[in-house]
Amino acid sequence: MPHITIEYSRNLKEPEKLLPLLGNLQDLLAEALPAKLTSFKSRAKSYDIFVLGNAQPDTCFVHCQVKVLPGRTKETLDAAAAKVLKSMRDTFQAANARLNLSVEIAELGPAYVKWDSGEEVGV
């Protein structure tokens, strides 16, 4: 049930690589967490208006947030985050001279609920 959300600045070069990256991250995290591949929900959102700390106009950013159900060890989450960061770097570093990457893996809180029209849910 992991949720992957990638946020990126509009000046990112080669944004067409985002869709394949999302698929790669799902595969990577399905194994690293582990999680069922069919349960992933992944998306990317660009930002036209942003300021990075150094205010360099040619600096771009990509931030990946992964939300997971509780129960995994810190070591598992840290290892998964490192793999996500490497995949992002491998995808975008060559085309973007000034690149700021970050990854956050967080557990969903106890108030998380879901419904899927393809599942039978008892009342």
For residue 78, what pLDDT band results from cuts at 50, 70 and 90? very high
- Specify the CATH number of the domain 3-107: 3.30.429.10
For residue 121, what pLDDT band results from cuts at 50, 70 and 90? low
Mean pLDDT of the chain: 93
How many whole angstroms separate alpha carbon 58 and alpha carbon 61? 10
Res 123: pLDDT: 42
Q: What angle do CA 95, 52, 106 make, to 5 degrees?
A: 90
Q: Is the pLDDT of residue 69 over 90?
A: yes
State the pTM of this model. Answer: 0.90
Give the tokens for residue 5. 């959300």
Domain boundaries, the chain: 3-107
- Cβ atoms within 10 Å of 83's Cβ, excluding its own: 16
Q: Which residue has the higher pLDDT, 24 or 121?
A: 24
Res 120: pLDDT: 61
